[in-house]
Structure 1
């Protein structure tokens, strides 16, 4: 039995993988599953983003992408494809990082995962230090509440959680604000009114959970 499991958040800046390249060209937020490295050297990519034909075109024009498939559900595009370009996340996985979430925005990536024990953490930190553009953002012990997704824990929908998370990361809740509602809505690929409605519903849900 391992004594401790740690949550690790890593930022990646300047990666040249297909998803990073595509989000530099198209202002959308891409939520990806951890890439699966196959025996033939290709990585299986599965990811989703707000519906935007420009993203599909950018990926389709990338010579490193093979067998791109897109399906649209409730205003979001779900993608599957193969990539022959190695991803930075593989470097961290190889030394013990268990990736739980992976988000691309404006060419940068945010990786959240877990490591089992401080020895593995040291290996991840060493590899992050050796890899250009990779920085360790946060480390903290995994608690019981962290075993459940935020949306499940607080009774939020996935869209409400995405609206809250994106607004927080872009500085919408900072004092003074570093961005406005229109910018956050653009990052989410939705209208300003749709963003504000999701935000109000999420805030009401959180208030109800806190104050009954």
Structure 2
């Protein structure tokens, strides 16, 4: 039995998949579930983004997208569709990366997942080297399942936890403040608006559990 499991984050640049192309053409930020590859090579996609008519039109005009369905919410829309264009993510999965979530912004993709052992990670990296620009942003050992993570304890998302940790590390919560929101966002390699949105959502969740 292999005792080590690593949490990994990959950054993908240069992929021409529909979601990357759509965020390259618009200002949208997309949060996606792992794509589901069908036997015929087509891919089932489910993702969400702040309500954006330009994104909707871009996807609707993409000949590689079929059966696009959009469910509008108060602040964001949920998209479901079929893509005729497999993306680089499938190469990482084939090499052993268990993809858990994806984020697309500005034509780039951030892939978050896990690999079992460093040997598998090496294989994933070798497979990634044969594709478009894929680089490993970070890898760290998954903590014991018997020790609940902050996300499990407080019902916040991994991305919200990362924002809180980064803000603490660079002094965003210090008095006087040692870092600006933009500096924390740059540290996370996300937009300022994305950082503030995740931070405020996490604060709301935490405060509700503490005081209500």
Distance 1:67 1:148 in 2: 40
For 1:34-45, what aligned pairs fall within 5 Å after superposition? 34-45=34-45
Instruction: State the match for 1:13 in structure 2.
Output: 13
Q: C-alpha distance in 2, partners of 1:45/1:7? A: 23
TM-aligned CA deviation for residue 140 of structure 1: 1.1
Structure 1 unaligned residues grouped into runs of 5+? none
User: Structure 1's 147 and 65: CA in aligned 2 closer, same or farther, altered over 3 A?
Assistant: farther
Task: Give the superposition deviation at 1:127.
Answer: 1.2
| TM-score after normalising by structure 2 | 0.77
> Which stretch of structure 1 is more off in the superposition, 28-37 or 138-147?
138-147
2:150–2:161 Cα contact (<8 Å) kept? no
With normalisation by structure 1, the TM-score equals: 0.77
Contact 1:163 1:199 in 2 (8 A): no
Match of 1:175 in 2: 179
Partner residue of 1:108?
A: 108
Tell me which of 170, 179, 192 is aligned to 1:184: 192
Give me the whole-angstrom Cα distance separating, in 1, the residues matched to 2:74 and 2:136: 34
Runs of 4+ in 1 over 2 A off after TM superposition: 144-156, 160-165, 171-181, 198-201, 203-206
C-alpha spacing 1:172/1:101, structure 2 compared with 1 (3 Å):
farther
SS at match of 2:15: coil
1:199, CA displacement in angstroms? 2.4
Report how many residues are paired. Answer: 195
